[in-house]
């Protein structure tokens, strides 16, 4: 039955499949959803069927006189008070159970990952591993991961449906939930609470790695970046640290320590740019620097009106940040 | 009393300026007649309906293709904020109040509403509120934070321009007028009923409007308080809703939805009332289980104040709070279900005449059931955790407010137009309007459920080219334009039939409530003579003296 649910809701390839659970948290929500949707379909067919049948069977024909006047029936009314109440009680009981299995209590301390919402990107901290990244979240597959959530400005909402519930990120609060991915892979999500101009381009990628890949990735993230080798790269570093870039972005090991925009320390290791807006290729990176508004109008990334040479040097340098 | 003072209670000596005592435009602008004010309400909300509809079509055009550049996020965000605010505060509520204004006094056999001048004030406050809201455009910045205006996005640091202030002031002004109307309705129903018209015999539209008026009086002050607090935050350096300085963004959500969820029922109860009038008349049977239909309205009214935080399950309030509001939200489905089944039972065994009014009422049963069932989904907390703020919500609210409220209003329009104008709306155009609306509406909004299940979040000005999204959005856009076309047919029908429609006579549908006992349109004084009221269906009794309702022991 659950397979049919998935099939029915996902005829053709789905974008970000909500009913395609990839963790035990998401799976318990999926089971509940599947049952509730079938019950809803049943009630819908009952109501639509009754309305259609009554409309056809009891339609007036020319010359018909008024029918016998019926004012009600306590028996029937009792039936459709008690019937739906019992049905809702069952659904409610199931709801209570799944609330617990899909959203078990978090530990007071010890978030594995803290995601901080910004207009319009995600800061991703790994407090236990000691580094900070942005927009792409790596987790080890097959492990329950405790996430903490904060916001630096307005309310955002973190939602990766295949992995579990969504949760609001509210300024002044610290929320916690458990998420997991059973298998390695890339899971898409998005900010689900309207947060201003570029809410649409505040997308999430969670990358679940095998234990070995995750260990390799996290040790790479913890490593200092290698200093630029070529003169072009060196000029690029110079521009990044001397121009306004450094007032917003951090690159660990350089004088760039801004905290307004995404941490760029290992930018070149990421798959996308600008919270999922562009693929992370040298061409796209260059285009982004040339005119951010062409891709993400309203974002806080300014157009610095770089010369082509400056832009080329900066891209050369940023590409070294593996 | 000297004539220079304005009397608080008009005496017979200081006669109010009434119907048709002025000439030209002033006849309307200076009117305190409930029927004229109602017509002005209808036309004004129709105007705003067109504005809100055009906003919707512009949005759908933008969303037709992935990464479309027809407009940017500034415009799109302003459009969805204006669309939501307009359709709720300037269309749904005033259109329902318009029908209340016109038909509550007629249904209870009164000459006018209790406070005619207060009634005119309410109308003009509504107009000025709308002008203030749209005045923001002239001031250079329409509000762009969404119709529920979540803090701190709505606060000065994130919305520095004046759009939010115009929005808040506009809604404040409208809110005051709406509360005044609710008081007016309640006093009218309490004091101006014709002899014999006991509360147990009130027509169901009037019944539900009465319950609705209680909801308005309790809910709107919460909104107005929130709006004042927001204005204080924005303009007087308040800290109600900002975390720095001790405020809380969640506080805004609690106060807003404490208004906002009853508001949903404020937008549906009078539509339930219209359906409860239309289905019996065209099924040629009395409403099945009057007491349950009326009583379930009271239950909905009470429960509507215990469900607001189901808008906030994703905020992480904690499971205990979630469970309370989940229970309330599930429970409210029961009285709603009672109504649906009673309406079907009213059709059962009847002789159903499928006029356009009845078609819209029958379609209402089906479309509203879809909206109601998707509402149950959001009372199932873990499903809400997945699906809130996605296109499933967009689909849900439109099935409730379009498939529910607007289908009800359309049914009411075809049903009562002959009473208001003396002429029938054209039934052939009506059928076109109905079928195009059904096709366009479901094409637009049904696929939005699927988009939500495929992970599309709401309030996005554009979206990436993920598999399936482009096609479903294109279907939705095509549906929206079909829907837009069907509205043009309605407009033409209203415009044309007003002067060229078939003459209706007093009671074209052989209906049973008092508004059909007077001429169409009714005279300024409504009734030359109010028929005797001995049961819920005075006109049935009049035409069936041998089988009158009052002869039955089970009828009050």
Mutation target for B interface from A51, A105, A273, A300: give the one with most B CBs within 10 A.
Answer: A51
**CA geometry: angle A121, A270, A161, nearest 5 deg:** 60
pLDDT value of position A91:
96
**CB–CB contact B347 A9 (8 Å):** no
Chain A CB contacts of B388 under 8 Å are 166, 192
Q: Which of A44, A77, A194 sits opposite B459 (nearest CB)?
A: A194
> Is the model's pLDDT at A215 over the cut of 70?
yes
pLDDT value of position B12:
55
Model confidence at A18, in pLDDT bands (50, 70, 90)? Answer: confident
CA B151 distance to own-chain centroid: 26
First-to-final CA distance of chain B: 44
Is some CB atom of chain A closer than 8 A to the CB atom of B142? no
Would you call B390 helix, strand, or coil by DSSP? Answer: strand
Q: Which of A14, A36, A119 sits opposite B380 (nearest CB)?
A: A36
At B347-358, the pLDDT tens digits run 999 999 999 999
**What distance in Å separates residue B329's CA from the closest CA in chain A?**
10
CATH 2.60.40.420 matches A231-318: yes
Structure-model confidence comparison of residues A1 and B86, the more confident one: B86
Q: Which of B283, B366, B455 sits opposite A48 (nearest CB)?
A: B366
β pairing state of A185-191 and A156-159: antiparallel
Please give the Cα distance from A238 to A233 (Å, whole number). 9
In degrees rounded to 5, what are phi and psi of residue A265?
-50, -45
Coarse DSSP helix, strand, coil percentages of chain B, rounded to the nearest 5 percent: 70, 0, 30
**What distance in Å separates residue A165's CA from the closest CA in chain B?**
5
pLDDT value of position A306:
96
pTM (2 decimals)?
A: 0.94
| CA distances to B205, B326, B347 from A71, in Å | 17, 34, 12
Structure-model confidence comparison of residues A80 and B398, the more confident one: B398
**CA geometry: angle A43, A48, A52, nearest 5 deg:** 150
Highest mean pLDDT among A58-67, A206-215, B134-143: A206-215
Q: Exposure pattern of B369-384 as b/e (b: 16+ CB <10 Å)?
A: bbbbbbbbbbbbbbbb
Under CATH, what is the fold of the domain A113-222? Immunoglobulin-like (2.60.40)
The token duo for B407 is 């289908």
The H-or-E segment that residue B297 falls in is helix B290-303
CATH numeric code, B16-217: 1.20.210.10
The token duo for A71 is 């004012």
pLDDT value of position A107:
87
Please give the Cα distance from B108 to A66 (Å, whole number). 25
Chain A CB contacts of B347 under 8 Å are 51, 54-55, 58
Nearest to A124 by CA among A180, A183, A169: A169
The H-or-E segment that residue A117 falls in is strand A113-118
Chain B CB contacts of A13 under 8 Å are 467-468
Provide the number of CB pairs (under 8 Å) joining chain A to chain B. Answer: 280
DSSP 8-state secondary structure symbol assigned to residue B20: T
Comparing A113-222 with A231-318, is the CATH topology the same? yes
Average pLDDT value for chain A: 94
Q: Are A170 and A151 in contact (CB under 8 A)?
A: yes
Please give the Cα distance from B222 to B229 (Å, whole number). 11
Where are the domains positioned within chain A?
Answer: 2-50+73-102, 113-222, 231-318
The token duo for B548 is 């009158």
Where are the domains positioned within chain B?
Answer: 16-217
**CA geometry: angle B395, B398, B400, nearest 5 deg:** 110
Taking residues A115-123, report their average pLDDT: 97
Alpha-carbon dihedral sign for residues B403, B406, B412, B414? negative
pLDDT value of position A210:
97
pLDDT value of position B1:
42
Q: Are B177 and B121 in contact (CB under 8 A)?
A: yes
Pick the residue from chain A with its C-alpha nearest to B63: A200
Is some CB atom of chain B closer than 8 A to the CB atom of A276? yes
In degrees rounded to 5, what are phi and psi of residue A208?
-90, 125
Please give the Cα distance from B502 to A126 (Å, whole number). 75
Residues 6+ apart with CB under 8 A from B419: B106, B504, B515, B516, B520, B521, B522
For chain B, which residues score pLDDT lower than 50? 1-3
Q: Are B455 and B409 in contact (CB under 8 A)?
A: no
pLDDT value of position A10:
60
pLDDT value of position B2:
46
Would you call B401 helix, strand, or coil by DSSP? Answer: helix
Please give the Cα distance from A274 to A156 (Å, whole number). 16
């Amino acid at each position: 039955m659950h397979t049919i649910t998935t099939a029915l809701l996902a005829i053709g390839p789905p974008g970000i499949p909500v009913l395609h659970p990839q963790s035990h948290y998401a799976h318990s929500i999926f089971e509940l959803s599947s049952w509730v949707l079938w019950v809803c379909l049943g009630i819908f067919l009952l109501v639509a069927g009754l309305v259609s049948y009554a409309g056809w069977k009891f339609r007036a024909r020319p010359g018909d006189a008024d029918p016998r006047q019926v004012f009600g029936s306590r028996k029937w009314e009792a039936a459709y008070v008690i019937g739906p109440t019992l049905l809702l009680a069952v659904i409610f009981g199931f709801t209570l159970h799944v609330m617990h299995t899909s959203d078990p209590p978090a530990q007071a301390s010890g978030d594995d990952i803290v995601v901080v919402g910004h207009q319009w990107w995600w800061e991703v901290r790994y407090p236990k591993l000691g580094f900070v990244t942005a927009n792409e979240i790596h987790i080890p597959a097959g492990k329950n991961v405790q996430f903490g959530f904060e916001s630096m400005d307005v309310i955002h909402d973190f939602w990766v449906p295949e992995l579990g519930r969504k949760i609001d990120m509210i300024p002044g609060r610290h929320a916690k939930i458990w998420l997991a991915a059973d298998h390695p892979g890339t899971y898409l999500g998005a900010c689900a609470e309207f947060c201003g101009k570029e809410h649409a381009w505040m997308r999430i990628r969670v990358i679940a790695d095998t234990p070995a890949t995750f260990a390799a990735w996290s040790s790479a993230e913890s490593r200092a970046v290698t200093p630029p080798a070529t003169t072009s790269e060196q000029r690029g570093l110079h521009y990044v640290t001397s121009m306004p870039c450094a007032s917003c972005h951090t690159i660990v090991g350089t004088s760039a320590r801004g905290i307004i925009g995404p941490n760029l320390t290992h930018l070149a290791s990421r798959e996308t740019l600008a919270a999922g807006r562009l693929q992370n290729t040298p061409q796209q990176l260059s285009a982004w620097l040339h005119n951010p508004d062409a891709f993400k109008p309203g974002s806080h990334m300014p157009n610095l009106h770089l010369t082509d040479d400056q832009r080329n040097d900066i891209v050369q340098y940023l590409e070294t940040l593996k | 009393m000297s004539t220079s003072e304005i009397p608080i209670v008009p005496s017979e000596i200081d006669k109010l300026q009434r119907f048709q005592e002025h000439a030209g435009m002033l006849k309307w602008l200076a009117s305190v007649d409930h029927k004229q004010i109602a017509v002005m309400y209808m036309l004004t909300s129709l105007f705003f309906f067109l504005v809100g509809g055009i906003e919707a079509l512009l949005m759908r055009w933008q969303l037709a293709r992935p990464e479309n550049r027809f407009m940017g996020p500034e415009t799109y965000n302003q459009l969805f904020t204006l669309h939501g605010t307009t359709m709720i505060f300037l269309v749904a509520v005033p259109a329902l109040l318009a029908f209340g204004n016109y038909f509550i006094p007629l249904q209870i056999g009164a000459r006018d509403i209790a406070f005619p001048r207060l009634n005119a004030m309410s109308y003009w406050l509504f107009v000025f509120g709308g002008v203030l809201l749209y005045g923001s455009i002239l001031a250079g910045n329409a509000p762009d934070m969404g119709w529920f205006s979540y803090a701190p996005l709505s606060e000065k640091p994130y919305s520095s321009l004046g759009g939010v202030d115009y929005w808040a002031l506009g809604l404040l002004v409208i809110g005051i007028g709406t509360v005044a109307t609710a008081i007016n309705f309640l006093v009218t129903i309490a004091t101006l009923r014709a002899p014999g018209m006991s509360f147990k015999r009130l027509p169901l539209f009037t019944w539900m409007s009465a319950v609705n008026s209680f909801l308005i009086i309790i809910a709107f002050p919460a909104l107005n308080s929130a709006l004042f607090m927001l204005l204080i935050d924005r303009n007087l350096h308040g800290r109600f809703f900002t975390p720095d300085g001790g405020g809380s963004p969640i506080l805004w959500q609690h106060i807003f939805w404490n208004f906002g969820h009853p508001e949903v029922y404020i937008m549906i109860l009078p539509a339930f009332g219209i359906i409860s009038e239309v289905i019996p008349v065209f099924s040629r049977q009395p409403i099945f289980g009057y007491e349950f239909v009326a009583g379930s309205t009271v239950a909905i009214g009470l429960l509507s104040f215990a469900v607001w935080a189901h808008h906030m399950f994703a905020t992480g309030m904690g499971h205990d709070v979630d469970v309370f509001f989940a229970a309330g939200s599930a429970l409210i489905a029961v009285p709603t279900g009672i109504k649906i089944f009673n309406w079907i039972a009213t059709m059962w065994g009847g002789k159903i005449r499928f006029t356009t009014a009845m078609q819209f009422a029958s379609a209402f049963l089906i479309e509203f059931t879809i909206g109601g069932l998707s509402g149950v989904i959001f009372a199932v907390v873990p499903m809400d955790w997945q699906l809130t703020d996605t296109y499933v919500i967009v689909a849900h609210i439109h099935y409730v407010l379009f498939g529910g409220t607007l289908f009800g209003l359309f049914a009411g329009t075809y049903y009562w137009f002959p009473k208001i104008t003396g002429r029938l709306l054209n039934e052939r155009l009506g059928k076109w309007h109905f079928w195009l609306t059904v096709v366009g509406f479901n094409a637009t909004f049904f696929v939005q459920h699927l988009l939500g299940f495929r992970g599309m979040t709401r309030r996005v000005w554009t979206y990436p080219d993920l598999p399936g999204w482009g096609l479903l959005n294109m279907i939705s856009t095509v549906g929206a334009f079909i829907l837009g076309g069907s509205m043009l047919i309605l407009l033409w029908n209203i415009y044309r039939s007003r002067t060229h429609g078939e003459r209706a006579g007093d009671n074209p549908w052989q209906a049973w409530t008092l508004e059909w006992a007077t001429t169409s349109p009714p005279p300024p004084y409504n009734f030359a003579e109010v028929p005797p009221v001995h049961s819920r269906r005075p006109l049935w009794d009049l035409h069936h003296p041998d089988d009158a309702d009052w002869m039955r022991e089970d009828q009050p």
